[in-house]
Amino acid sequence: MNKDLKYILILFFLGYFFLFFGNGLISLTSPDEVFYAQTAREMSQHHTWMTPILFDQPQFEKPILTYWLLRIGFIIFGVSSFSARFFPALFGLIGVIAVYLFAKLLFEDHKKAFISALVLLSAGFYIGMARTVFTDMVFSVLVLLSLLSFFWGYACEKWKGPGIILFFIFSALAVLAKGPLGLFIPFLAVGVFLLLERKIKFICSSYALWGILIFLIISLPWYILMTAKYGQAFLHEFFYNDHYRRLIEAEHGGSDRWYFYPFTMLGCMFPWSIFVAVSLFYLFWRISKPRTADLFIVSWIASTLLVFQPAHSKLTSYILPLFPALALACGDFIYDCIAHKERKRLLFILLALIWAILLFIAVGVVFASFKFSNYISSPSPVCFLTMVFILWLSVLLFYIARHKYNTAVYLLALCVPVMLSVVPFIHRDIEVNFSSQYACGYLLKNYSPDRESYVLASKDFARGTRYYTDMKVAVFAPRAKNFFSPHPIPFLDTDGKILDFLRQHPLVYCFLKKSSLENLKSALNKDFEYRILNLIGNQYIVKIQQIRHD
C-alpha cells in the first residue's frame, strides 16, 4: 500500500474517534453553541438561506457560511447536537489531513508528516473546537487550505497555476466564514514569506489576476446583498460592532493582556505544550540559517499573532488558525529528536516531564472526584477510569524508560481521548451546568407554559432558553452590560424595568442563576409572589405571579 494512503487512512480512523465519536452525547451548550444552531433553525423557519435570523430578527454577528453548513447538517441528520457539530468535526478532520499533506511538502518525509498531523489531531483544544459549534474551526481550516494551496504551487512549479487559484478560492470561503480576517491572515502570511524569500515576483502572474477575480466572485455577493437589503444596519453591526469595535474594546476584559495569546496557545496544545515551546525555541534559534519550511512556519505564526495581538477583544479560539503551524513545528522537532542520537537525551527529559505532569493530573482528578462529589452523581466511574489512565501512564513510562520513543509519542497522542473516556459516565452532570436542555424540558413537561408568553432568563441562559423552548425570551440582568451585539429582546437591567415587565405579564416562568434570583427577590414588591419550582444544575426554575388585590 502507498505510504501516504496508509498514513491518511490511519488518520481518518483516529479522526473518527477523536473528533466525531459521541458528539451527540451532550446537548448543545449555552451561550454560544445554541446561538449558531438557533440562528440556522430560524433561517429555516423563515425560509431564507441568505439572512441570519435570531429571535425572529436579522442578526449579523457572523457571515453566512457556518449557517449554511448547519442548515445542511440539519437537513441530512435532523436537528440535533450531533448534526450541529458534524461540520466542525468534518473540517477538523480535513485540517488534520491537510497538515499531513503540508508537512509532506515542507519536510519531504512521511513519518515527520504523520507525527505533525497526529500532534494537531490530539491537541486538547483542537479536539474541543472540532466538537463545538463555532465558526473558528471552519475558518481556521479554510485558512490552512489556502496556505497549503499556495505552498503546493510554490514548491511544485508545474502546479503553480492551480495552487494560486485554490489559494484565492479558499481565502474567499474564509471571508464567508469569518469576514475580512479570511483575507488578512493568508495574504499577510504569504506576503511576509515571499519577502523573506525575496521572491515577491512569484505572485505577480496572470494566475493571480484570475485568482483575484474568482476571490471577488465568491466572497462579495453575500456582502453586497446584505448591504443592499439592510444598508446601514448591516454595515454598522458587522463591520463596526463586530470587527472594528473588537479592536478597540475588550469584550472579555480578563483576557486583554499582552501575554494571553502566547500562554494560551502553548497551554491549548496540551499534551504537546512543552514540545511546542521547545520546538519554537529551536525554530527561531536557527532562523539565521533557515530552511524554506522554517520561513513559512514563522511567517504563518507571526502574521496570525500580528492580526490578533493588537485587538483588545481576545479569545483563545481566535488564534486557532496558527495551531496547524504549531503542529508542523512540533512534528518536525519531535521526529528530528527521534532520528538524531544527540537529541535523544533531550527527548527523554521532555517525555519524562510530560509523564510527571500527567500523573499529577490523574491524582488530582481522583482527589477532586471526592472533594467535589456533589457535582457528579457518583465518583466511582471517574475513579475507575482514572485508574485506567494511570495504568496507561505506566505503559507510557515503560516505553520511555526503554527508549522506545516512537511508541511513546504515539501513546502520548492518545492522552486526551483516554482522559475524555470518562465523559459518557458523567455527561449528565456536565450537561446540567452548561446546557439549558434539562431545565427547559422540566418546565415544558410539568407546567406546559403558553408558547406565546415570555420566559425570563439570566443573560447566560437566554439563547439556550430560546433554542430549547422556542418561546419569547426576556433577559433579566440587573446592573449588567447588554450583549456585545444587542439582541432584539427586552433587556431588563434595573428594578424598575423588571417591575414594569411583570405588571404587563401577570404569570412568568424564569430560568435564573443564583445571583439573578437574589436580585429578583430584592426587586419584587408585595404585588408579586415567586416560587422556586426546581434547581437543575445552576439554573433556578422560578414562577412569578402577580397578586390580585380585590
Q: Which residues contact 336 (CB under 8 A, 6 or more apart)?
A: 343
Which residues in 167-176 are b (16+ Cβ under 10 Å) and which e? bbbbbbbbbb
What average pLDDT does this structure show over 347-351? Answer: 93
Query: What does R_g of the chain's alpha carbons equal in angstroms?
Result: 26
Say if residues 296 and 106 touch (Cβ distance below 8 Å): yes
pLDDT in tens, 477-501: 888 888 888 899 999 988 899 999 9
In angstroms, the CA 152 to CA 144 distance is 12
- % pLDDT > 70, the chain: 96
> Among the ranges 187-191, 205-209, 503-507, which has the highest mean pLDDT value?
187-191
**pLDDT, position 205:** 87
Residue 162: all three cell numbers together? 492551480
Confidence of residue 374 (pLDDT cuts 50, 70, 90): low
Q: What is the sign of the dihedral through the CA atoms of 99, 101, 421 and 441?
A: positive
Reply yes or no on whether the pLDDT at 550 is more than 70.
Answer: no
Q: Please report the pLDDT score of residue 20 as a whole number.
A: 94
Average pLDDT, the chain: 91
Say what the pLDDT of residue 380 is.
Answer: 67
Q: How many CB atoms lie within 10 A of CB 51?
A: 21
Residue 209 sits at the vertex; the CA angle it makes with 203 and 215, to the nearest 5 degrees, is 100
The DSSP secondary structure of 514-530, one letter per residue, reads HHHHHHHHHH--TTEEE
Tell me the mean pLDDT in the region 50-55: 96
pLDDT per position as a tens digit, 511-537: 999 988 998 888 888 888 889 999 998
Q: Which helix (DSSP H) or strand (DSSP E) does residue 430 occupy?
A: helix 423-434
pLDDT tens digits, one per residue of 394-442: 999 999 999 899 999 999 998 888 777 777 666 677 788 889 999 999 9
pLDDT in the model for residue 343: 86
State the pLDDT at residue 451: 82
Per the CB < 8 A criterion, the answer to whether 52 and 58 are in contact is yes
pLDDT at 227 exceeding the cut of 80: yes
Q: Which residues contact 267 (CB under 8 A, 6 or more apart)?
A: 273
Which pLDDT belongs to residue 6? 92
Question: Tell me, what's the pLDDT at 378?
Answer: 63
Over residues 169-192, the mean pLDDT reads 96
pTM, two decimal places: 0.94
Q: Which of 20-29, 279-288, 363-372 has the highest mean pLDDT?
A: 20-29
DSSP 252-304: SGGG-STTHHHHHHHHTTTTSHHHHHHHHHHHHHTTTS--HHHHHHHHHHHHH
What percent of the chain is modeled with pLDDT above 90?
69
- Res. 390: pLDDT tops 90: no
Q: Could you give the CA distance from residue 37 to residue 70 in angstroms, rounded to a whole number?
A: 7
The CA-to-CA distance between both ends of the chain, in Å, stands at 86
pLDDT the model gives residue 87: 97
Residue environment code for 106-142, b if the CB has 16+ CB neighbours within 10 A, otherwise e: bbebbbbbbbbbbbbbbbbbbbbbbbbbbbbbbbbbb
Q: Which residues pair with 529 in a beta bridge?
A: 545
Query: Exposed, middle or buried: residue 525 (CB in 10 Å: 0-12, 13-18, 19+)?
Result: exposed
Cβ(119)–Cβ(11) below 8 Å: no
pLDDT at 369 over 80: no
CA gap 223, 62 in Å, rounded? 11
pLDDT at 3: 83
Q: How sure is the predictor about 446, in pLDDT bands with cuts at 50, 70 and 90?
A: very high
Which pLDDT score, from 0 to 100, does residue 16 have?
A: 94
With a cut of 90, say whether residue 52 has pLDDT above it. Answer: yes
Q: What is the mean pLDDT of residues 178-197?
A: 94
pLDDT in tens, 308-326: 999 888 999 999 999 999 9
The pLDDT value recorded for residue 371 is 67
Which pLDDT value is given to residue 549? 62
Written as nine digits, the cell of 107 is 519536510
Cell of 504: 404587563
Name the 3-class secondary structure at 452: coil
Most confident stretch, 121-135, 351-365, 445-459? 121-135
**pLDDT per position as a tens digit, 100-129:** 999 999 999 999 999 999 999 999 999 999
Task: Provide mean pLDDT across the span 13-25.
Answer: 92
Q: Cα separation of 73 and 80, whole Å?
A: 9
User: Exposed, middle or buried, 347 (CB in 10 Å: 0-12/13-18/19+)?
Assistant: buried
Give the pLDDT mean for 244-264: 85
